[in-house]
């Protein structure tokens, strides 16, 4: 078997298999080294790769980390551990759902005439194949028309980060914005904190801005923050790891299967695990020492206050640390003990009534955590994505502060703290050691819309929010700044009329998907264009769909930045021939740029190979390897800092010397009470200066949400839903992988032969509704209906249900979906009044068995929805939506 190099033509060989090395991941962060074997330009197989294949042990020695504990050693394996999503990627490249040619919606015509755009038919009418010349003519014409008519900011560019393939030069999010920046500007869809909402809106007001000045997940850089050694510190000192949110066995699928190996090592050296989750998830199932504490969704705040009550009344917290490293604790103490104006002690019994965890379990948990050196692990699930998620975000920070956050073995382990050891030449980019993606230059425009507010902005023509247009990577104080859409006219502000998406999953990745569909179906949206590899989700509602290459078809350079055992830089030549007439986002932007006379401002007159060389030259890789050697090897593991084991982990320096290593909070200390919140939002009863148990209530009383079991809506919708990422998808990516769909827990075959998304229900809840295993279940609230199929199990907390997010939309009619896309019925009004992030789990629903009469009625009323081509191997597909 011959191994390829960076020559883009090397893959086409009729005589033998060619192997290229890739970095396949689905969050823009890159993954483990993966070998892709191809013959005659077609992928044959995808497999792990031995990282020592082209390097001697001596050459690798300076790049290998090692953890030692209790006589056991944990080191990077020589055989890579790609995420199983990557190993199945052949299914994605050759999916029956792949967009192979440019497509136009059959009943849409350019020009903006409401009678000809037929906006109401988006997501209903089908597509017809057109040529690339026709597609580019249409897009060029529509761009010129809306820019001339309304101004350049009438173009909304959607999709600039995350939830995409890992690409560098070819982007996967942002090339349309690069083009538009040369044409006078655009409206920017800004990122919200998505997977860390609670930490961003809550914990930042406790311990400061956090890693990368924005996520509020650990400690700010000026404290000596060092994410690299958090894993080592836990290995050396922690007795107990509490998994407070998320499924680590599941979400590792972003990059590799590294976490499976690390957690097993921790088990072998005697660490205890506890997981608090409504669902007995895969992390709980896979590890024998894991203890599962079932809890009702979005009640973590009550649980945390019950734990604090035990610690305070029994003297089990670190009083010295609280006295010297924090401020405002006396206010929280009074609230917990019932010594404030509310006068309600937050006892374990009080907490139990709200969270469903038995009183004695709360006490046992509190005492166990207090007597052991404990770290907490959080991922992108659970309470951090719920209504009022800033409250558990803050109470989680309170618990860590009361344990002495920063002392040996007391850490918060999170996504951005999952890299092992610091390298000498690390960068903080999606490709951590190269610089190619600086070709994606965003215009510093005056108009933006947070991605969670696009629907309401389109529907009402306006939006108001607080927080920077670059909403994640900012200082805490920027949450107090007000922004508005449209921007002032003197700054070019105008309403949006053309949507162009390079990451078309907004209706299924974010909040209130049915509301987003409604917004797209208005005449205000005169043209909706998506660049995408697969015909799914937002693309089903587009007017023009442009076929895009996958990462395995591009000539690129991509490394890995996190959730891997060893970070690397790598050259990733095309592993196979392109499917159909697909082009990369980079190439599409360049071709359109040529039509507008700005191509050289986009590609700078360089070929793709020259761009890859340019990225290398601009990086720090040149300090450790030559271009010629890099080309020959194809990948490189940078050398570790010789002193990496001595670098202070997390908030260690703040713990040891808070005066000389202060936080960037106003006081420089951990703040149980935020005077900044009190000063800036004095009338905000949902996010007060300190965390409280907030249940919400009716809108007429000023509440954003009534999504708890203590309000009025629960009388109609009595179940709380958990809607976390799926084991067999990454967000919305991979729902068409037939190898996964064959697995029983991935989909459930309904009586009609359709493979439905599972809804996990407790036996008591199912019996009360007459639901049996395998029944089609209508899951609904006032926002719409999503069809699922029952999986009855003791793995789910009674009073709640679980549906994994990310299943592809399959619209039957407005606000009725067959595909199980659960984010379609999530709240549309975000975290809280001043926190415009999403709430996609922990809200109210009802479930009932779908009656045969209602099913037959839908088939009669919407025959086209049930007549679409359906392949049980992958579900809905290209043939379902394209008129040949």
Distance in angstroms (rounded) separating the CA atoms of residues 740 and 752: 20
φ/ψ of residue 229, rounded to 5: -100, 10
- The mean pLDDT of 330-354, rounded to a whole number, is 98
Mean confidence (pLDDT) of the chain: 91
Residues 227 and 187 occupy one common structural domain:
no
> Contact, 178 vs 602, CB < 8 A?
yes
Give the residue from 411, 171, 137, 414 showing the smallest Cα distance to 271: 411
Structural domain contains residue 14: yes
Residues 376 and 480 occupy one common structural domain:
no
Residues 199 and 268 occupy one common structural domain:
yes
Question: Is the pLDDT score of 5 beyond 60?
Answer: no
Structural domain contains residue 311: yes
> Contact, 631 vs 609, CB < 8 A?
no
Answer with the one of 29, 60, 93 that is the final residue of a domain.
Answer: 93
Half-sphere exposure of 804 (CA within 13 A, CB side): 27
Task: Assign 296 a pLDDT band (cuts: 50, 70, 90).
Answer: very high
Question: Is the pLDDT score of 869 beyond 70?
Answer: yes
Distance in angstroms (rounded) separating the CA atoms of residues 381 and 803: 13
Structural domain contains residue 853: yes
Distance in angstroms (rounded) separating the CA atoms of residues 136 and 124: 24
Contacts of 87 (CB under 8 A, 6+ apart): 34, 46, 47, 48
- The mean pLDDT of 765-789, rounded to a whole number, is 98
Residues 441 and 533 occupy one common structural domain:
yes
pLDDT digits (tens, 9 = 90+) for 843-861: 999 999 999 999 999 999 9
For the chain, what percent of residues have pLDDT higher than 90?
A: 77
φ/ψ of residue 339, rounded to 5: -100, 10
Which token pair is 429?
A: 């980019």
Structural domain contains residue 692: no
pLDDT of 212 reads 44
> Contact, 384 vs 198, CB < 8 A?
yes
| CATH number of 750's domain | 2.40.40.20
| CATH number of 394's domain | 3.40.228.10
Residues 631 and 656 occupy one common structural domain:
no
pLDDT digits (tens, 9 = 90+) for 39-64: 999 999 999 999 999 999 999 999 99
Pairwise pLDDT comparison (288 vs 13), residue with the higher score: 288
Q: Which domain holds residue 718?
A: 699-883
pLDDT digits (tens, 9 = 90+) for 360-377: 999 999 999 999 999 998
Answer with the one of 93, 128, 163 that is the final residue of a domain.
Answer: 93
Residues 72 and 178 occupy one common structural domain:
no
* Inter-helix orientation angle 359-371/300-314, to 10°: 60
Task: Assign 291 a pLDDT band (cuts: 50, 70, 90).
Answer: very high
Place of tokens 């294949």: 53
Structural domain contains residue 554: yes
> Contact, 547 vs 99, CB < 8 A?
yes
Task: Assign 210 a pLDDT band (cuts: 50, 70, 90).
Answer: low
What is the reported pTM?
0.95
Residues 121 and 7 occupy one common structural domain:
no
Distance in angstroms (rounded) separating the CA atoms of residues 436 and 554: 14
Pairwise pLDDT comparison (866 vs 443), residue with the higher score: 866
Name the least confident of 119-128, 190-199, 761-770: 190-199
Query: Would residue 498 be called left, alpha or beta, if left means φ above 0 and alpha means ψ between -120 and 50 degrees?
Result: beta
pLDDT digits (tens, 9 = 90+) for 119-154: 999 999 999 999 999 999 999 999 999 999 999 999
Structural domain contains residue 712: yes
Structural domain contains residue 213: yes
| CATH number of 37's domain | 2.20.25.340
pLDDT of 221 reads 38
Residues 252 and 350 occupy one common structural domain:
yes
> Contact, 19 vs 36, CB < 8 A?
yes
Residues 473 and 614 occupy one common structural domain:
yes
Residues 413 and 348 occupy one common structural domain:
yes
3-state helix vs strand vs coil in the chain, percent to 5: 35, 20, 45
pLDDT of 8 reads 43
- Total domains present in the chain: 4
Residues 185 and 206 occupy one common structural domain:
no
Pairwise pLDDT comparison (788 vs 470), residue with the higher score: 788
Structural domain contains residue 429: no
Residues 476 and 601 occupy one common structural domain:
yes
């Amino acid at each position: 078997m011959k191994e390829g190099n960076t020559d883009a033509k090397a893959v086409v060989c009729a005589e033998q298999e060619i192997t290229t090395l890739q970095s396949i991941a689905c969050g823009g962060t890159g993954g483990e080294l993966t070998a892709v074997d191809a013959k005659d330009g077609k992928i044959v197989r995808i497999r792990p790769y031995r990282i020592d294949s082209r390097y001697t042990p001596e050459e690798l020695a300076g790049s290998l980390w090692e953890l030692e504990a209790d006589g056991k050693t944990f080191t990077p394996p020589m055989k890579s551990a790609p995420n199983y999503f990557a190993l199945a990627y052949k299914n994605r490249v050759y999916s029956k759902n792949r967009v192979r040619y440019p497509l136009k919606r059959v009943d849409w015509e350019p020009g903006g005439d409401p009678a000809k755009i037929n906006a109401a038919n988006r997501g209903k009418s089908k597509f017809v194949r057109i040529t690339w010349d026709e597609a580019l003519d249409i897009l060029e014409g529509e761009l010129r028309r809306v820019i001339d008519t309304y101004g350049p900011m009438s173009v909304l560019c959607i999709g600039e980060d995350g939830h995409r393939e890992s690409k560098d030069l070819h982007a996967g999010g942002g090339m349309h914005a690069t083009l538009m920046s040369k044409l006078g500007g655009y409206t920017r869809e800004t990122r919200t904190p998505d997977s860390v909402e609670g930490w961003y809106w809550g914990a930042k007001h406790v311990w400061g801005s956090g890693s990368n000045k924005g996520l509020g997940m650990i400690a700010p850089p000026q404290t000596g923050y060092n994410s690299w050694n958090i894993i080592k510190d836990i290995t050396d000192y922690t007795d107990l790891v509490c998994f407070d949110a998320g499924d680590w066995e599941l979400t590792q699928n972003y990059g590799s299967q590294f976490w499976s190996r690390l957690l097993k090592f921790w088990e072998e050296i005697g660490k205890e695990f506890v997981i608090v989750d409504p669902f007995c998830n895969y992390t709980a199932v896979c590890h024998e020492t894991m203890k599962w504490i079932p809890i009702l969704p979005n009640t973590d705040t009550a649980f945390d206050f019950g734990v604090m009550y035990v610690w305070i009344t029994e003297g089990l917290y670190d009083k010295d640390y609280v006295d010297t490293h924090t401020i405002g604790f006396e206010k929280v103490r009074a609230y917990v003990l019932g010594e404030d104006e509310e006068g309600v002690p937050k006892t374990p019994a009080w907490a139990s009534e709200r969270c469903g965890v038995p009183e004695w379990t709360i006490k046992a948990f509190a005492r166990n955590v207090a007597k052991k050196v404990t770290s907490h692990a959080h991922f992108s699930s659970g309470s951090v994505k719920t209504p009022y998620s800033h409250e558990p975000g803050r109470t989680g920070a309170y618990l860590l502060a009361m344990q002495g956050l920063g002392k040996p073995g007391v850490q918060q382990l999170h996504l951005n703290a999952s890299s092992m050891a610091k390298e000498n030449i690390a960068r903080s980019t999606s490709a951590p050691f190269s610089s190619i993606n600086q070709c994606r230059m965003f215009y510093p425009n005056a108009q933006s819309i947070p991605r969670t507010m696009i629907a309401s902005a389109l529907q009402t023509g306006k939006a108001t929010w607080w927080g920077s247009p670059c909403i994640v990577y900012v200082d805490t104080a920027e949450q107090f700044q007000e922004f508005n859409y449209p921007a002032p006219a003197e700054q070019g502000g105008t309403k949006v009329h053309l949507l162009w998406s390079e990451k078309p999953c907004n209706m299924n990745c974010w909040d209130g998907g049915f509301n987003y569909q409604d917004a797209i179906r208005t005449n205000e949206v005169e043209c909706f264009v998506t660049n995408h590899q697969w015909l799914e989700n937002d693309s089903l509602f587009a007017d023009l769909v442009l076929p895009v290459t996958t990462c395995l078809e591009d000539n690129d350079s991509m490394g890995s930045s996190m959730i891997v055992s060893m970070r690397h830089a790598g050259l990733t030549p095309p592993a196979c021939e392109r499917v159909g007439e697909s082009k990369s986002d980079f190439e599409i932007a360049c071709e359109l740029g040529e039509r507008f006379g700005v191509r050289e401002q986009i590609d700078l007159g360089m070929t793709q190979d020259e761009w890859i060389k340019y990225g290398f030259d601009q990086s720090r890789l040149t300090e450790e390897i030559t271009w010629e050697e890099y080309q020959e090897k194809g990948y490189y593991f940078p050398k570790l800092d010789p002193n990496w084991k001595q670098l202070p982990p997390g908030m260690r320096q703040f713990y040891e010397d808070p005066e000389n290593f202060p936080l960037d909070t106003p006081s420089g200390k951990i703040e149980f009470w935020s005077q900044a919140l009190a000063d800036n939002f004095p009338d905000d009863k949902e996010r007060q200066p300190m965390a409280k148990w907030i249940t919400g209530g009716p809108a007429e009383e000023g509440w954003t949400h009534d999504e708890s079991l203590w309000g009025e809506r629960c009388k109609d919708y009595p179940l709380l839903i958990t809607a976390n990422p799926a084991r067999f998808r990454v967000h919305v990516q991979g729902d068409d992988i037939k190898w996964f769909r064959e697995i029983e827990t991935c989909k459930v075959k309904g009586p009609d032969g359709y493979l439905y998304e599972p809804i996990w229900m407790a036996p008591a809840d199912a019996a009360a509704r007459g639901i049996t295993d395998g029944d089609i279940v209508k899951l609904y609230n006032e926002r719409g209906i999503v069809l699922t199929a029952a999986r009855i199990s003791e793995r789910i907390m009674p009073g709640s249900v679980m549906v994994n997010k990310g299943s592809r939309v399959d619209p039957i009619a407005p606000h009725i979906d067959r595909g199980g896309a659960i984010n379609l019925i999530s709240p549309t009004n975000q975290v809280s009044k001043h926190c415009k992030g999403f709430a996609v789990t922990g809200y109210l629903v009802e479930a009932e068995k779908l009656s045969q009469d209602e099913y037959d009625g839908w088939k009669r009323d919407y025959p086209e929805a049930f007549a679409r081509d359906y392949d049980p191997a992958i579900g809905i597909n290209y043939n379902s939506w394209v008129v040949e």
